[in-house]
Structure 1
Amino acid sequence: MKNGKTSAGKTRWRCKHCGASTIQARPDITAKAQFTMWLDWLLSKKTQRELPVSRSVFKRDTAWCWQVIPQAASTGEIHRWIMLDGTYYQGMCVLIAVTKDHVIDWQFCDREKIVAWEALLAKIPAPDIAIVDGQRGLLSAIKNIWPETKIQRCYFHIQLTGTKYLTRRPVLEANKTLRVLYTSLTDVDSLVCFVN
């Protein structure tokens, strides 16, 4: 039966048989409150000193939040083009599919490989064009999962590869001309291109 409230305002319950008093815990509500507090802190400019609880309590109560792996909600929307790339963070690889406006989906893995790329691509409807960095595992996965999708090499990676082989100051005239071509790719804004 109810036995008043604690100083924190929680209902205190007392057992009719033994007289012991306790409060009823709701792990789901507690976890939601902890996650909300952690997310608010993470997405704000607040320091942990500015939180309504001590830093040690905050760290203890929200340590589990760092282990939550976010999931993207699949909309089934078909995109004209999708950019695909992998990035590494603290020894883990994240494969990402994005449009100009937002992240479509992602896949955690140990490194970029065919099976990981296929797991990501299988969750997304095939676009008309996939913009990629040229990684072999990704190219194979696109051919397997999205056989009709056209592949476009990312301008940034084209320029990176060109600079790797030709340097920033090529000596030969042919190399200078080639450098002008691949560095001007980012200025192309239509399908019609006029060469002077």
Structure 2
Amino acid sequence: MSRNKSPRARKCPVCGMPMRRNGFTRAGSRRWRCDACRLSTTAKREDSTRMAEFRAFIAWVTGKESMSEAASRLGITRQAFAARIAWCWNVEPGMPDASRSHRYVMADGTYVPYGWCLLVLTGDDGRPVKWQWCSAETKPAYLQLFKRVRRPGLLVCDGGQGCLAAAETRWRGVRVQRCLVHVLRNTRVDLTNKPKSDAGKALLRLARGLTKISAADEAAAWLTDLNEWHAEHGGYLKERTTAKQDPVHARGRKWWWTHERLRRAYFRLVRLNRDHTLFTFCDPAITKDGGPLPSTTNQLEGGVNAIVKRTLDHHRGLSEKHMKRCCEWAVYMLTADPDPESFVTPAHWRNAKTKSVGDGDPTPGTLTAVQLPATGVDAYESGFGVRTGWAGRSH
């Protein structure tokens, strides 16, 4: 029969004197005895039980299994599993150490249910450095994300104004690389996938070549092609339409550019190059010491953001509070040295039975607060809630 290893010395709950080991029970549990008051006990280690529950919670909330599958694997019911891990939702993961310097960082936001946006900052190893909840990708939100993060050699982002403004405020003069995949997407929005004009078709071909550039000489050749495009189609860009020619679309204007979308797509490329954010990744001034740098945010979007999306897809139907905690644990477990158990304190499980449901708001998954569940039961995630049907009726 296997026997549990002896934990650290215990004190008698009656007299407070040290207790000594006194063999094992038939079930294999350690027996303790107090020589002062002759008390014998096999008191369980509550912390061991709670940590086992927390490990099961982390495995489920960051994995692919449904709650029913996780409960079945442990040999308990779904309701029992939900009750045992109810206290685990109160454990909040902390931020990793952001003091290390990075050659480059990537910043991007991913939108999740309930109107929230999760901003994530990753380092040159592709692992999360910080994350921040916000309702929109604004400058204050990104300032909070960049707070206490050391100045990187390069910031790769999608070019949002909030991100750029926060980066300039936090790291004045930092080099920025605009994600070339986003540049291509914006160009396709303006030109569509099948432009009708020859100028539009040629410019779209140039934009598609952006993501294939990997060196400075290739970037120089691409800019030469862009200049040649303008030399050939510059007159086409300057065409105007007057109100007399098209009174239906005048809307109070005397004239307007005939090919507005084409002009916007072209001058966006010109502006990005003038701002030195189009081909920063291959600038010899910042690549000479460490080799090539990324030109897109694919590492972040296809890594952390994609995993967050997949995790939420595996756990559809979470309440707003639990959805946010699920995302936080999904991101934290991707850090360099995750140690989720380090955030658990006795206060988390001791307050589990007194946890309020709803906090004055309607119970998640219901339209009103008239049907409140029993203490410790989540009405939304345990399958309880308002039901409709013909049960109990007769024709």
Which TM class, normalised by the smaller chain length? 0.7 to 0.9
Name the SS of the counterpart of 1:162 in structure 2: helix
CA distance in 1, matches of 2:89, 2:215: 44
Question: Displacement, 1:94?
Answer: 1.0
Contact preservation (8 Å) 1:86, 1:93: yes
CA distance in 2, matches of 1:124, 1:154: 21
Instruction: Give percent identity, aligned residues only.
Output: 27
1:58 lines up with 2:81 in the alignment: yes
CA distance in 1, matches of 2:32, 2:135: 49
Equivalent of residue 150 in structure 1, options 154, 158, 175: 175
The number of aligned residues is 191
In structure 2, relative to structure 1, the CA distance for the partners of 1:10 and 1:22 (3 Å cut) is: closer
* Structure 1 segment 37-52 matched on structure 2, within 5 A: 37-44=56-63, 47-48=69-70, 49-52=72-75
Question: Displacement, 1:31?
Answer: 3.2
Name the SS of the counterpart of 1:104 in structure 2: strand
Deviations 1:40-94 (A, max 9, x none): 3345555221124332221111133345432231142222221110112222221
Question: Displacement, 1:143?
Answer: 1.0
2:93 aligns with: 70
Alignment-mate amino acid for residue 102 of structure 1: R
2:118 aligns with: 94
* Structure 1 segment 1-196 matched on structure 2, within 5 A: 9=29, 23=43, 26=46, 28-44=47-63, 47-48=69-70, 49-91=72-114, 92-98=116-122, 99=124, 101-193=126-218, 194-195=221-222
Alignment-mate amino acid for residue 55 of structure 1: R
In structure 2, relative to structure 1, the CA distance for the partners of 1:45 and 1:160 (3 Å cut) is: closer
CA distance in 1, matches of 2:136, 2:26: 52
Point out the structure with the larger strand share.
1
Contact preservation (8 Å) 1:6, 1:12: no
In structure 2, relative to structure 1, the CA distance for the partners of 1:5 and 1:116 (3 Å cut) is: farther
TM-score normalised to the size of structure 2?
Answer: 0.42
TM-score normalised to the size of structure 1?
Answer: 0.80
In structure 2, relative to structure 1, the CA distance for the partners of 1:67 and 1:90 (3 Å cut) is: farther
Q: Rg bigger for which structure?
A: 2
CA distance in 2, matches of 1:143, 1:180: 33
CA distance in 1, matches of 2:88, 2:135: 21
Name the SS of the counterpart of 1:192 in structure 2: helix
Contact preservation (8 Å) 1:12, 1:24: no
Contact preservation (8 Å) 2:30, 2:42: no
Structure possessing the higher relative contact order (Cα contacts under 8 Å, 6 or more residues apart): 2
In structure 2, relative to structure 1, the CA distance for the partners of 1:45 and 1:85 (3 Å cut) is: closer
CA distance in 2, matches of 1:35, 1:109: 27
Alignment-mate amino acid for residue 143 of structure 1: E
Name the SS of the counterpart of 1:70 in structure 2: coil
Alignment-mate amino acid for residue 147 of structure 1: R
Contact preservation (8 Å) 2:98, 2:150: no
Question: Displacement, 1:124?
Answer: 1.5
Question: Displacement, 1:158?
Answer: 0.7
Please say which of residues 102-111 and 79-88 is displaced more in the overlay: 102-111
RMSD between aligned residues: 3.1
Gapped runs of 5+ residues in structure 1?
none
Point out the structure with the larger helix share.
2
In structure 2, relative to structure 1, the CA distance for the partners of 1:143 and 1:12 (3 Å cut) is: same
Question: Displacement, 1:96?
Answer: 0.6
Contact preservation (8 Å) 1:85, 1:132: yes
Contact preservation (8 Å) 1:78, 1:126: yes
Deviations 1:138-190 (A, max 9, x none): 11101110112112211121111111100001122222222112211111111
